[in-house]
Structure 1
């Protein structure tokens, strides 16, 4: 029997997906870094899928990517689960998101997976932050 919820479970199954994701990929970042990466990862995914907020990420959504029509209306899009983990060395991380949505054509799909990669950068004043990397 699968540990994941049955297909079509909807919002009720999202907690099961979150727990499964956390169990499969144990935490390896400080809690503050995880929070920062999850906030940014969720915002990036929403901007990518719905078009809302792309201007906040000019280095990620540039050129033709910025002009693409959004595939999902905000009301027909949800993030089912999300975690942030290291991606190799301590200066790299990934926000791993599982999401669902109904596209403009009316097709609903759950369990979509998107990864946003980040690099830790440090300012001249010594403050560090996680910077999202453009998709290649």
Structure 2
């Protein structure tokens, strides 16, 4: 496994973080599903951290209300690395994200970790969709 970059390395260290995640947790999903889950996980994290896009997932963010200010500014937020993997069964997955951001108080923190859990739902026509689970 590659060594993680020192805190504050910036975007230069993101590749090492991604490689470390991939080495520690080998891929186990079809590429198309992984891509779908990664896109959703990144969007959920952005919505959670910055407030942008929360309306897209009312079941996930229903308890936050409109008056809650986001903790991070969108311009000072980035995903450093992300992977999507099975979570105990073929119908469950987790998107593991490592990210960096500057909060409203001006404090920068990198190598933050967030996991989003998903379940697969299948329609009567056989189409499957990954649905994010609310945090408990």
| TM-score range normalised by the length of the shorter chain | over 0.9
Q: For residue 102 of structure 1, what is the aligned residue in structure 2?
A: 102
Measured in 1, the distance between the counterparts of 2:12 and 2:6 equals 10
The aligned counterpart of 2:54 is 54
Q: Residue 60 of structure 2 aligns to a residue in which SS?
A: coil
Contact 1:60 1:135 in 2 (8 A): yes
User: After superposition, where does 1:1-136 map in structure 2 within 5 Å?
Assistant: 3-63=3-63, 65-67=64-66, 68-136=68-136
- Deviation at 1:12? 0.4
In 1, Cα distance between equivalents of 2:65 and 2:85: 27
Which consecutive segments of 4 or more residues in structure 1 shift more than 2 A?
Answer: none
Gaps of 5+ in 2: none
8 Å CA contact 2:93, 2:117 repeated in 1: yes
TM-score by length of 2: 0.96
- Asked if the contact 1:54/1:66 (under 8 Å) is kept, the reply is no
Q: What secondary structure does 2:91 align onto? A: strand
Give 1:85 shift: 0.2
Q: CA RMSD in A?
A: 0.9
Structure 1: any 5+ residue segments left out of the alignment?
Answer: none
TM-score (norm. length: structure 1): 0.96
